[in-house]
């Protein structure tokens, strides 16, 4: 599975980071950084949770 970030939509709310801290984080400028974009196993569940909680639908899992 792969996490896809639409940077133009991301507003830096950070809810995704809370849902999947092993996969992504906000940098010092409030920009989302994907630490890994390829995921599997337990990380796939975290990635899906992060995509679900994003209030602007900036993340999706393919």
* Chain segment 3-12, per-residue pLDDT in tens: 999 999 999 9
Q: Is the pLDDT of residue 42 over 90?
A: no
Domain count, the chain: 1
Q: Could you give the C-alpha distances from 46 to 17, 19, 28, 29, 41, in angstroms and in order?
A: 10, 6, 23, 24, 9
Supply the mean pLDDT for the chain: 96
Distance CA 8, CA 44 (A): 23
18 is in which domain, residue-wise?
3-61
Q: In the predicted model, is pLDDT for residue 33 greater than 90?
A: yes
CATH of the domain at 25: 3.30.70.20
pLDDT at 37 over 90: no
**% the chain with pLDDT above 90:** 94
Residue 34, H or E segment: strand 32-34
Q: Which two tokens stand for residue 15?
A: 């809810």
């Amino acid at each position: 599975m792969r996490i896809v970030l639409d940077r133009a939509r991301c507003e830096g709310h950070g809810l995704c980071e809370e849902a999947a801290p092993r996969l992504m984080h906000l940098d010092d400028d409030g920009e989302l950084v994907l630490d890994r974009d390829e995921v599997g196993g337990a990380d796939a569940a975290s990635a899906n949770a992060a995509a679900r909680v994003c209030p602007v639908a900036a993340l999706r899992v393919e």
